[in-house]
Structure 1
């Protein structure tokens, strides 16, 4: 399993539009094959910056999602709201203490 982190920055007048789209689609994204967790975070000092954290079983699962109609629709509505280029990381979780 690995973690996908995506940082997104939006025009201030577009954050509510992003949140509405995310809330409408989040259950579908989470139910994508291989997705084990989906979280959305908002930066405490800049309310226009958001991060998604998603846990995936395999890289193939993530790629299948990224090639799906669901992702294409979500991304088409999201990318037009950006005020900066998104940044993404795929990382392996080494430790987790709960």
Structure 2
């Protein structure tokens, strides 16, 4: 996610307010936030869900709707998202 530079603080404030709700959502096992080292406007969230169905339920939830509706107003570019399969744990 790339944010408008003057909206980064608003994003971080909101993330800190909702992160425990997301972590507590049924099926969520892990949530992390990363910031790009070279471009401070770029952030990544990494979440781990028990099943793809749990993720889909979250994506259709009121919580996600509220978080996403607010967050997308802060972007400077179209966001990207990926779902991946874990191939190895080292």
The TM-score range, normalised by the shorter chain, is over 0.9
Say yes or no: does 1:78 pair with 2:78. no
What RMSD in Å do the two structures reach over aligned CA positions? 0.6
Q: Please say if 1:94 is aligned against 2:87.
A: yes
Q: Bigger relative contact order, structure 1 or 2, given CA contacts below 8 A and separation 6+?
A: 1
Where in structure 1 are there 5+ consecutive unaligned residues? 1-7
Q: Which runs of 4+ in 1 moved over 6 A?
A: none
More strand by share: 1
The alignment partner of 2:15 has SS state of: helix
Question: Structure 2 length normalisation: TM-score?
Answer: 0.97
Partner of 1:54 in structure 2? 47
What is the DSSP-based 3-state SS (H/G/I as helix, E as strand, rest coil) of the residue aligned with 1:64?
helix
Q: Could you tell me how far 1:55 is from its partner in structure 2?
A: 0.3
